Amino acid sequence: MRVVAVTGLKGGVGKTSTAVNLAALAASEGHRTVLWDLDPQGAATFCLALRPKLRGGADKLVRGGRNGLLDVSRRTMVENLRVVPADGTTREIDKLLWSSNKPTKLIRRLIAGLKNDADVLVLDCPPGLSPVVEAVAGVADILLVPVIPEPLPFRALARFSDFLIDTRAASPEILGPFLSMVDRRKPMHRRIEAEILASGKFLGAAIPESSAVARMGEEQVPAVVSSPYSLAGREYRKLWAEALERAGA
Ligand SMILES: Nc1ncnc2c1ncn2[C@@H]1O[C@H](COP(=O)(O)OP(=O)(O)OP(=O)(O)O)[C@@H](O)[C@H]1O
Ligand SMILES: [Mg+2]
């Protein structure tokens, strides 16, 4: 099973949109896919038209048995795609991990329970540097980090990399930064995009600012399903292919 996490320090940069679209793409390729919504905002749950209800709550999930994730996962309108929904209790995961002295071990045990039932696990993380994110970094094959092509987000990416080193959660080599919400009408976006591509430090996909993606919050359908031929759809497919390759599949 491949574990692909979408994470980063900054909020509102396209993490959830990416997690939902990549999970839908993985599922459409026939991979048995689980998307775990780790953000109490529950945006990934919402974008896939599920109720924000985690059966039994986060406490039971984290302390529970091996089949925990599969048991609380729900089917979606996308074939092969199941979601572990978020609800108000999801915020307790941080506290539970914080109070255990082996947060990564807890998450790893939960994920191991999915091994026979899923080929791909996509994790939608909350923004920031929290125990959940630290634990996820320890189990993921790749950490996808969306970056808007403006100066400040680059500082956030550097802080995120420092966080991985300081906590020894993971090697920064598992970071897969990519450009998100690119608006090529803006000279700054065009300039920074060109610099990034030349540096070779980012993945090649660049997700454009796109009405197809923005509509997910209204239509509750992944953009790659509702608008597969949009530019955003194409770039998400490119990102998924790169993520899988980097994740060692
Ligand atoms: N490529 C895009 N084009 C247009 N709108 C986008 C795009 N990506 C995301 N958005 C919109 O921007 C907002 C934030 O996106 P999203 O929820 O994916 O970000 P996030 O990083 O997960 O946010 P948070 O940190 O709050 O979890 C949403 O309203 C979403 O519809
Ligand atoms: Mg989000």
The pLDDT tens digits for 135-191 are 999 999 999 999 999 988 889 999 999 999 999 999 999 999 999 999 999 999 999
- Burial string for 103-125 (b: 16+ CB within 10 Å, else e) reads bbebbeebbebbeeebbbbbbbb
The pLDDT assigned to 141 comes to 97
Q: How confident is the model at residue 243 (pLDDT cuts 50, 70, 90)?
A: very high
Give the range among 28-32, 99-103, 220-224 with minimum mean pLDDT: 99-103
* pLDDT for res 101: 77
Is 149 close to ligand 1, i.e. is its CB under 6 Å away?
no
Does the C-beta of 127 come closer than 6 Å to ligand 1?
A: yes
> 55 is written with which tokens?
């059966």
User: Starting from the edge strand earliest in sequence, which strands make up the sheet with 74-75, in order?
Assistant: 74-75, 81-84, 33-37, 120-124, 2-6, 142-147, 175-182, 206-208
Ligand 2 center from residue 229 Cα (angstroms): 24
Place of tokens 């991985």: 164
| All structural domains of the chain with their residue ranges | 2-246
132, pLDDT greater than 80: yes
Q: How far is the CA of 65 from the centre of ligand 1 (A)?
A: 33
Range name among 53-67, 77-91, 176-190, 198-212 with the lowest pLDDT average: 53-67
Ligand closest to CA 206: 1
Ligand (nearest to CA of 8): 1
Residue 104, pLDDT score: 87
Contacts of 65 (CB under 8 A, 6+ apart): 113
**Of 213, 220, 230, best ligand 1 pocket probe by most atoms within 8 Å of the beta carbon:** 213
Per-residue pLDDT band for 102 (boundaries 50, 70, 90) equals confident
* Residue 88 near ligand 1, beta carbon < 6 Å: no
2-246 falls under which CATH superfamily? Answer: P-loop containing nucleotide triphosphate hydrolases (3.40.50.300)
Name the residue with the closest Cα to ligand 1, atom 13: 12
Distance CA 142, CA 103 (A): 18
pLDDT score for 119? 97
- Say yes or no: CB of residue 15 within 6 Å of ligand 1: yes
Percent pLDDT > 70 in the chain is 99
| CB of residue 21 inside a 6 A radius of ligand 1 | no
Report the separation in Å between the CA atom of 101 and the middle of ligand 2, taken as the mean of its atom positions. Answer: 27
Ligand 1 centre distance from Cα of residue 210 (Å)? 10
